[in-house]
Amino acid sequence: DPLEYGQPVFQGLLVLGVDSNNQLTLRGSVTHYDKMNDPNGDPKALTEDDYQAFYGYDMISRGAWIGDVLYTFSARQIRSANLEDLSKIGEVELPGYKDGQQYYYYGGDVVRTFVAVD
């Protein structure tokens, strides 16, 4: 059943392009969750800590490019990649990334709570 919920495969940013026929093409992908870096990969079972990272602080919330560099942002880090081939240039880990939010799982549903940080 294609609508059946299964284990996650990928979480990240898909980089699209437009070909000469004005059709969208997939140029590649970028992720902050390196354990699942292939959008066409096989599903993997996640531990509780993996869920916190996958659905929480490693989830890319924004992407932007300046010149030939693609920047992606998550609660854990900011990464830069070469816009031409999407190879990683560098990353900066943000302090306190585990303090701002927590995810809990109840009956297969994700319940997100925010924790106040002093």
Question: In this predicted structure, what is the pLDDT of residue 118?
Answer: 41
Bigger pLDDT: 97 vs 12: 12
The span from the CA of 115 to the CA of 102, in Å, is: 7
Instruction: Please report the beta strands in the chain, taking only residues with DSSP state E, as ranges in sequence order.
Output: 13-18, 24-30, 62-66, 69-73, 77-82, 88-93, 101-106, 109-114
**% residues pLDDT > 70 (the chain):** 79
Which tens digit of pLDDT belongs to each residue from 13-25?
Answer: 999 999 999 999 9
Q: What angle do CA 88, 91, 94 make, to 5 degrees?
A: 155
- pLDDT at residue 54 is higher than 60: yes
Average confidence (pLDDT) over 60-64 = 94
